[in-house]
Chains A and B, each alone.
Chain A
Amino acid sequence: MSKYTIKLSAEQVEAFGRELDAIYERERADLGEQDLSYLRKVMRTQRWAGIGGRAMLFLGWLPPFWLGGVALLSLSKILDNMEIGHNVMHGQYDWTRDPKLAGQTFEWDNVCPGDQWRHSHNYMHHTYTNIVGKDRDVGYGLLRITDEQEWHPAYLPQPVYTLFLALFFQWGVALHDVEFDRVQRGEKSLKEAWVQLKEIGAKVRPQLLKDYVLFPLLAGPFFLPVLAGNVAANVARNVWSFAIIFCGHFPSGTQMFSEAETVNESRGQWYLRQLLGSANIEGGRAFHILSGHLSHQIEHHLFPDLPAHRYAKVGPEVEAICRRYGLPYNTGSFGRQFGSVVKTIFRLSLPTPARQSRHEEAVSC
């Protein structure tokens, strides 16, 4: 990952922060019926795609129905997890005061319990974004994804780990907050981990029952296409969400930070770290919706609790502000962003020296 030397004074950093604050306040004041009706439209699509997909799978012994069923069910799960689940759980719709859209209690069609996701993602990842050693999304305790991490022979097969992580991504997400490596090092008690594993079990059981037992049973003698279709839909969601998420903070140009350099961060410096640590993906409207607007990772990290569909609107404004301050705005096609992540995974699987993060100029000025 290349490093930028940014020449901004402390006042300029705070001015940058204030301009972003102004965007947030303006958008928040504008929230209203159009945001809620947009979400409702997405939820309706998710619901009927799910019903349609599952219905088609009952006729899944006919290949066109199986393919159509898997496509619709995958779409349903992807919308549920990304444009709806991830965004609602961020509290993006708390302002509606609809208890069914309350971020703290919302659940998604995923083996990961909402509470653990809220802890590991909303709190840990968004507060300590890209701080090596604090943000567990850096490598997921499994991969060497940035030069700041020390190489170890266990990283050699990491392209294979990545493939498995992609195929079974929802399980990786589910176990993410248990922090097995910290348990192993004695930093976290087995008891605490066990409580979490029980919570995960309580979420896993009904998910497995639904997709791999009940719906197949309902199909009677034609259970096999239904079972296979549900597996395929889950895998499709896993791979898609993995790809989008990995493009969020790992493409070339994104920057990592050390704990030392982020101590006593001001608001402007926090915004700067969120910007420098995130990368966008270019695409059309459908692509943005399917990615849960994580294609606008920069805007999402600047304004996590703003309804995500507004990121497309504020994106050009944010980019203009960055340009004015001489700051990088990392964006590229899906091919380019994801390609650079894959290259990095292969490159860092091999022994290379660990790099010290050099950000004093940018962040602690």
Chain B
Amino acid sequence: MTSNTHPLPWQRLLTHPLVRSLTFPHDLTGIMESLNADWSLSEVKGRLVARQVETADAVTLTFKVNGWWQGHLPGQYVELSVEIDGVRHLRCYSITSAPAGRGGEVSISVKAHEGGRVSTWLVREAALGLRVRLSQAKGDFVLPAQADARLQFIAGGSGITPIWAMVAALEASGYDGEVGLLYYVRQPEDAMLAERLADLAARWPRLRYQLVATQAASAEWQGHFSKAHLRRLWQDKWSLPPVYVCGPEALLEGVRAVYADWEADYKVHFERFRPAALNTESGGEIRLSRRQQVIAAGEGTLLERLEAAGVDVPYGCRMGICHTCECKKVAGQVRDARYGSVSEDGEERIRLCVSVPNGPVELDI
């Protein structure tokens, strides 16, 4: 029997109220997952089927997705949920594979960031057969609906991932305009998807591709992005096409600065990858996302700071035992007032009564 990767209408009965009444207060998820690990009530699940080494610290991981996957547009990303030593971690990765439907394959290319728990684990430890959860494809860093006569892409480091997807899609769809791609890395061996890019440039004359190693000693192309690089790429066919940029903040700033010089009308699309920043200052400001309120920096636990600012939140024992004051931290780090341990950056549930902000913090209140 082939695996249930294509939900048919009758399978949507799985969430029918009658079924829920029989399994109350739980749902069918447990039973389904016991029968087949790829099954779910609505979640997209993926199984690692291929792993390709790209550089010394980057790999491309290909997942076979279940029937709930709804496809993606080139340039979009997916939120991956992976369980590492019992704990679920969520990270976003741009999709590098061509669009596939239900039961197809989705690839991401991951570069191990220094100190990055998930990226390092995915690159070094993820083995074939690994099961992950995926969100549906997200993001609006996509190709325009109406194709322009010319498109310019600028990528830095792992920012090549969404751009590769877009350039590959243009070629596959028989795009008849001109495409320029400038890819900035520190050293040539840092270039991800290098072979694929070189192959594509070799067989597709419409693509002008240049890999620039900013720290390589004797390279033909030197230094960071500049007007000169653009001119050199296009030579006599110079014009200002719509620009798609993805890479480190410095690259985005560099592109913005260069284009700001030109007064001509241009369209620049940015895609940001946000790496976690370690912050060791305490008592940071508290942002409340639902109330649209900001509480200035100060002393004390989150519960104390909220109450001092007149924000009433549920509390119980006020000593970290009963979890009544638990709420969602959207961003930022907190320190445990009892043990001094510092949390991760990003979304997780915390107990307000024993958490002290370690830098700026955003709460779902």
Which listed residue, B18, B25, B324, touches A119 by the CB 8 Å rule?
Answer: B324
Quick check: A209 and B29 within 8 Å, CB to CB? no
Q: Does B292 contact A (CB under 8 A)?
A: no
A283-311 with Cβ < 8 A to chain B: 304-305
Chain A proximity mask over B79-109: 1 for CB below 8 Å, otherwise 0: 0000101111100000000000000000000
Quick check: B316 and A127 within 8 Å, CB to CB? yes
Which residues from B are CB-within-8-Å of A123?
Answer: 316-317, 322, 324
Quick check: B86 and A122 within 8 Å, CB to CB? no
Q: Does B321 contact A (CB under 8 A)?
A: yes
Q: Which of A103-111, A145-153, A184-192 contacts B (4 or more CB under 8 A)?
A: A103-111
**Min CB–CB distance B355 → chain A (angstroms):** 13
Q: Does B294 contact A (CB under 8 A)?
A: no
Q: Does A206 contact B (CB under 8 A)?
A: yes
**Min CB–CB distance B235 → chain A (angstroms):** 52
Which residues from B are CB-within-8-Å of A33?
Answer: 85-86
Q: With A and B bound together, what is the CA distance between A209 and B231 in angstroms?
A: 74
Which residues from A are CB-within-8-Å of B348?
Answer: 97
Quick check: B323 and A215 within 8 Å, CB to CB? no
**Min CB–CB distance B118 → chain A (angstroms):** 12
Q: Which of A88-96, A156-164, A224-232 contacts B (4 or more CB under 8 A)?
A: A88-96
Which residues from A are CB-within-8-Å of B26?
Answer: 107, 109
Contacts across chains A and B counted by CB atoms under 8 Å: 95
Given contacts A33-B85, A97-B88, A103 and B34 within 8 Å (CB-CB):
no
Q: With A and B bound together, what is the CA distance between A96 and B86 in angstroms?
A: 6
Quick check: A122 and B322 within 8 Å, CB to CB? yes
Which listed residue, A32, A97, A214, A305, touches B323 by the CB 8 Å rule?
Answer: A305
- What is the number of residues of chain A that contact chain B, defined by CB distance less than 8 Å? 45
Quick check: B85 and A32 within 8 Å, CB to CB? yes
Which listed residue, B30, B339, B349, touches A43 by the CB 8 Å rule?
Answer: B30
Please report whether the interface of chain A is mostly helix, strand, loop or mixed according to DSSP.
helix
Which residues from B are CB-within-8-Å of A31?
Answer: 86
Q: Does A102 contact B (CB under 8 A)?
A: yes
Which residues from B are CB-within-8-Å of A126?
Answer: 317, 321-322
- What is the number of residues of chain B that contact chain A, defined by CB distance less than 8 Å? 28
Quick check: B22 and A214 within 8 Å, CB to CB? yes
Quick check: A206 and B25 within 8 Å, CB to CB? yes
Q: Does B31 contact A (CB under 8 A)?
A: yes
Q: With A and B bound together, what is the CA distance between A127 and B353 in angstroms?
A: 14
Q: Does B326 contact A (CB under 8 A)?
A: yes
**Min CB–CB distance A323 → chain B (angstroms):** 25
Quick check: B323 and A44 within 8 Å, CB to CB? no
B34, B86, B88 interface centre (most CB from chain A within 10 Å) = B86
Q: With A and B bound together, what is the CA distance between A215 and B23 in angstroms?
A: 11
Given contacts A47-B30, A107-B25, A210-B21, A95 and B317 within 8 Å (CB-CB):
no
Quick check: A206 and B24 within 8 Å, CB to CB? yes
Quick check: A104 and B21 within 8 Å, CB to CB? no
B325-355 with Cβ < 8 A to chain A: 326, 338-339, 348-349
Chain B proximity mask over A10-54: 1 for CB below 8 Å, otherwise 0: 000000000001000100000111111100000110011001000
Q: With A and B bound together, what is the CA distance between A98 and B86 in angstroms?
A: 9
Q: With A and B bound together, what is the CA distance between A43 and B316 in angstroms?
A: 29
Which residues from B are CB-within-8-Å of A207?
Answer: 24
**Min CB–CB distance A269 → chain B (angstroms):** 12
Chain A: CB-nearest residue to B316: A123
Chain B proximity mask over A187-216: 1 for CB below 8 Å, otherwise 0: 000000000000000010011011000110
Q: Does A182 contact B (CB under 8 A)?
A: no
**Min CB–CB distance A80 → chain B (angstroms):** 8
Which residues from A are CB-within-8-Å of B338?
Answer: 21
Quick check: B22 and A108 within 8 Å, CB to CB? no
Q: Does A86 contact B (CB under 8 A)?
A: no
Which residues from A are CB-within-8-Å of B87?
Answer: 32, 95-97
Chain A proximity mask over B28-47: 1 for CB below 8 Å, otherwise 0: 01110010000000000000
Chain B: CB-nearest residue to A92: B323
Q: With A and B bound together, what is the CA distance between A181 and B356 in angstroms?
A: 39
Quick check: B22 and A210 within 8 Å, CB to CB? yes
Chain A: CB-nearest residue to B320: A305
Q: With A and B bound together, what is the CA distance between A294 and B250 in angstroms?
A: 56
Given contacts A123-B317, A206-B21, A214-B21, A104 and B322 within 8 Å (CB-CB):
no
Q: With A and B bound together, what is the CA distance between A90 and B351 in angstroms?
A: 13
Chain B: CB-nearest residue to A44: B34
Q: With A and B bound together, what is the CA distance between A48 and B25 in angstroms?
A: 16
Q: B-contacting residues of A (Cβ < 8 Å)?
A: 21, 25, 31-37, 43-44, 47-48, 51, 90-91, 94-98, 100, 102-104, 107-109, 118-119, 122-123, 126-127, 203, 206-207, 209-210, 214-215, 267, 270, 304-305
Q: A35-B86, A100-B29, A127-B317 are in contact. List 12 more A-B contacts (CB 8 A).
A: A91-B323, A94-B323, A97-B88, A103-B323, A118-B324, A122-B322, A123-B316, A126-B317, A127-B322, A210-B22, A214-B22, A304-B321
10 contacts between A and B (CB under 8 A): A31-B86, A36-B83, A95-B86, A96-B87, A97-B88, A104-B349, A126-B317, A126-B321, A214-B21, A304-B321
